[in-house]
A and B are shown apart, each in its own frame.
Chain A
């Protein structure tokens, strides 16, 4: 599903955020990306959805070499990847329904299909009946789950989550993690960046540990 081949990323005017990172993540796998703050976790994820381009090396997603993807092709590539990113949260002037429907509208789905899929995604994250509410009226955990519903509504084969449990209490964190496990069980490849080592250790899944931009350990 994802292959990094000697990938380095240096931001303009900055030090190297990633140094010669190589790994492969197979289809339907679930992996955790850990490491200290500034280790390069977000950078690695941004490379996968072409928010950033590598300075060196190659990234492959579903067999496609991202270096060969032109700017015009980027949106179509992104439709195959569900993302839960912290600085791209919900649109607060739109209802829960409209937030979740956004990827489907963009992809040009028909009205009735959109309704069906949005309700299915919301029921999967346990938010049935909250369609008409505005995000501001939801709790932090519920908002996070709306974001997850938006990420999976398009049924992407790959799901990326950057610190999805960032400021949630342990119980809520576990609920969110369970959701990801469920998606993985139906065949979605999942990659989650997190600081929560305790949780990661308990989950016993593939771990990618970054340290100063270098991939230190990759273990199952």
Chain B
């Protein structure tokens, strides 16, 4: 990169392509930057094809997408899809990332060698604001006027040459969605683009002097131009102390002086914080009259207005929203079901196949019940994640997502959340895993974490078999008007989860996640046809991300749980069991052999580490009305809640077939407390246990995904403690309260 200070005129300097290099360390970094919805991801997908990977910026939940792109000269560059931003003065963690990367404040992500700035050509006016801020930073920039197809349809004509002249950077018209102008853009990216030295901002002399003095004292460690350093100085002046990256960058003595300088400027020039925004918009007006002309009226605006009149109408808007949400919810449940069944059956036949080709023993058990079952426990989530993200990215790409948030903001605001929290919470009724992943669309960090923390309270589909078993066994089918008692019980469980979620959200917003309600500004983009390619890439990325990051944890925990539930085995007793089974088989008595096998499995589980922990747990859960048998199933259900049912069946020496399930109800009703000789489980126990299942954090996959999405162990651990103590207290209250009232 040649020295920018040699450039005397704002002309575009285009120099020969750099020689190709295969050296990874020297590979050029190109970043795509722009306002939200300008088409950055569409362009990114266009330029990188399938060679991309998704990660996180360290310490924050902001997604980092990196891909590779081969330029016409054969040179390969790394392409970075930065989060959308409105301004280089950040208002959210996403925007902070953009600023940090651009100014070289992020130690892991080097400042890009070239920035492709993406503009929605139909909204040039407002998008030029960020463009001008960016150009003044003094890094090499190529301006891509995206959506030229839409601009043409609306009769917007942009004079590229005039724009190049005013901005001092190369300009190219493209359509990322239609693939227009991509070749030209690639060729431009191949050149050694010089930074522009055009300046748009006007600062009062007093402000300029302060910034000069501050910037002279900042460490000179990056490739910034002098005006870029002035920007950093300005950012430091504006900062209210919340900005860690800035604080790390500025020496302590400078930070002390900043406070004094700020106060002095406040005295003499109350407008100093906003003057530059005003002057940039003045510069934009000049450029717009110079370079843009419009013919005809915009049909897009009329169309948008017609659609919005219905979709955000006082009556039709919410109605459409409710129907759509119902459909989404149903789809996550229903569309995913066949694929989930298939995975389920595939995994068990794989297990049977492997089991029948291996000698029985600990290794076979590890592979079949540990590894294969663990893999199954992981990929079983993929269909729901895929369906939910398919629907959500279509909503996002068409522009409806913003309307949904617009409609729901008021209601979600009651619990201190924004409208965007609705869909993640709704999907959590199917499964908390995709729901928690969906919380990524919430841009405010506190809102996102609150949403993640309350999502597992929504009764997911894995709790249904548990409710079904307990309601079937203990709740009489009494009719109350048009309702039945089992129905009311089931509904109450769903309701209890929602109530707990509201309570916890309210509490979190007043304690750990306190903070002023952030400024909420959301763009309502025009309605557009989604780019199916981008939609499918998003779906694929989500599934892969889940498998890679959460899947490994789930697999590991599955194996640990398998070990706990199958070891140390039965020893001599096991040998006796096997002899008896053999005798029964030789006598041709299959029923007897099967009964013995179930009995042996039961004995093995009761004797296992999980079984022993169930007994250890008994004093803790006795006040809730649970015995050690339930204790065991609470431990094993950490693999997935529905495992509770099959564990109970095993504990009661039943096989877990359909018939076994029916007789499990009987067994539960008939089970006697060995000490008192009375019924071990009553309807009150059942209610207490269901309440526990509503509130407790019993799902390792949830823990794994929360760890992954929040990037720390702090939140998943807090979640386990919070949910389980809440569950214990509530079940305690139900059981002991019920007993006081003489209910069981």
Q: Are both chains from one complex?
A: no
Taking beta carbons and an 8 Å cutoff, which residues of A are in contact with B? Answer: none
Taking beta carbons and an 8 Å cutoff, which residues of B are in contact with A? Answer: none
